[in-house]
């Protein structure tokens, strides 16, 4: 078999669409790409699974690795710090069109201004604590979990605030041509309007979903605007 091509984009449509607005969900985008605008032929077979480690075909006796994965990350992702390393070992992409959401919570802790120690650490060291003489400030608590997450990003690119990462990827049977790639990129990353709106069903949930607001208590950095994180 010919190995499917996997294309991964930064899904910024959520960032660009105001709360209450409508956008194509994964099924609607699939309908747009294959049927309405005829931009690509997607790999739908449940017998095929695309991982970072390879392309696998289901057989009567299990799964067989049949090809190396052919993965293309959009320039917006690589500029924002997401490379192949962002996807953890054994990450399965499946087939067709997939919308993915990853949430990261930035935990904080109170530390003493001069020593950088927490209240608990100061009490353990001194046996007592006079809070009236302390100056405390809040810092990012770089927990073990956060350190593992940050290592997935290119150095210095991991957003240091509560955020969500929205990605869209698709497995296609043939390499995308220049127009097809740019058009899909415009739909997913630039919020372009789908052509021929009359071709889409107005039935709730058929092709479109409604955007809901996501509250982020931390200020967004430029990386957030680049990838469309924060909603």
Does a structural domain hold residue 81?
yes
Assess whether 98 and 125 both reside in one domain: no
Q: What pLDDT digit, counting tens, does each position of 1-26 carry? A: 677 899 999 998 777 777 777 889 99
Residue 150 lies in a domain: no
Note whether 93 and 198 are same-domain residues: yes
Same domain, 12 and 93: yes
The answer to whether residue 32 scores a pLDDT higher than 80 is yes
Decide if 82 is inside a domain. yes
Mean pLDDT score, 94-100: 92
CA-to-CA distance for 192 and 41, rounded, in angstroms?
20
Q: How far apart are CA 189 and CA 178, in angstroms?
A: 16
Considering the domain architecture, whether residues 130 and 213 belong to the same structural domain is answered as no
Task: Please check whether residues 45 and 112 belong to one and the same domain.
Answer: no
**Total domain count, the chain:** 2
Residues 9, 123 within the same domain? no
H helices present in 111-156, as ranges: 119-126, 144-150
Domain co-membership, 219 together with 176: yes
Shared domain for 81 and 23, answered yes or no, is: yes
Contacts of 41 (CB under 8 A, 6+ apart): 34, 172, 173, 174
pLDDT exceeds 60 at position 225: no
> What ranges make up the beta strands (E) of the chain?
5-10, 22-24, 48-51, 54-59, 62-67, 70-73, 92-94, 97-104, 108-112, 136-140, 163-172, 208-210
The partner residues of 163 in beta bridges, in order of sequence, read 104
**Whether 55 and 74 share a structural domain:** yes
Cα–Cα dist 45/175, whole Å? 17
Cα separation, 196 vs 198, in Å, equals 5
Parent domain of 125: 108-140
3-state DSSP assignment of residue 198: helix
Question: Distance between CA 40 and CA 143 in Å, rounded?
Answer: 43
Per the domain annotation, does 61 fall within a domain?
Answer: yes
Backbone angles phi, psi at 93, to 5 degrees: -95, -15
The answer to the question of residue 27 being in a domain is yes
- The per-residue pLDDT for 214 is 55
**pLDDT score recorded for residue 31:** 96
Q: What does the pLDDT look like over 157-185, one tens digit per residue? A: 999 888 889 999 999 999 999 999 999 99
Does residue 117 share a domain with residue 38?
Answer: no
Per-residue pLDDT of 103-150, as tens digits, reads: 988 887 776 766 667 667 766 777 766 666 676 767 667 788 888 999
Residues 135 and 69 both lie in one domain? no
Per-residue pLDDT at 226 exceeds 50: no
Nearest 10 degrees: CA dihedral of 75, 77, 79, 83?
A: -110
Res 116: pLDDT: 64
Per-residue buried b or exposed e for 28-37, using 16+ beta carbons within 10 Å of the residue's own CB: bbbbbbbebb
The pTM for the full model equals 0.80
Do 185 and 161 reside in the same domain of the chain? yes
In degrees, rounded to 5, the angle at the alpha carbon of residue 225 between the alpha carbons of residues 176 and 52 is 45
């Amino acid at each position: 078999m010919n190995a499917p091509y996997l294309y991964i984009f930064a899904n910024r449509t959520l960032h660009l669409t105001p709360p209450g607005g409508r956008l194509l969900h994964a099924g609607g985008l699939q309908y747009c790409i294959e049927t309405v605008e005829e931009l690509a032929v997607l790999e739908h077979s449940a017998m095929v699974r695309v991982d970072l480690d390879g392309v696998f075909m289901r057989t009567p006796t299990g799964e067989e690795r049949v090809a190396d994965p052919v993965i293309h990350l959009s320039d917006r992702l690589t500029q924002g710090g997401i490379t192949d390393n962002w996807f953890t070992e054994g990450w399965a992409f499946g087939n067709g069109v997939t919308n993915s959401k990853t949430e990261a919570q930035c935990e904080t802790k109170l530390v003493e201004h001069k020593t950088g120690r927490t209240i608990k650490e100061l009490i353990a060291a001194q046996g007592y604590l006079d809070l009236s003489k302390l100056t405390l400030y809040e810092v990012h608590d770089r927990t073990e979990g956060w350190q593992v997450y940050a290592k997935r990003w290119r150095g210095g690119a991991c957003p240091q605030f509560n955020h969500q990462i929205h990605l869209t990827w698709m497995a296609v049977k043939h390499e995308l041509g220049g127009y097809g790639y740019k058009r899909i990129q415009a739909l997913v990353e630039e919020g372009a309007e789908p052509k021929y709106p009359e071709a889409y069903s107005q039935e709730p949930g058929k092709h479109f979903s409604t955007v809901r607001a996501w509250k982020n208590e931390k200020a967004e950095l430029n990386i957030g605007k680049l990838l469309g994180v924060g909603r």
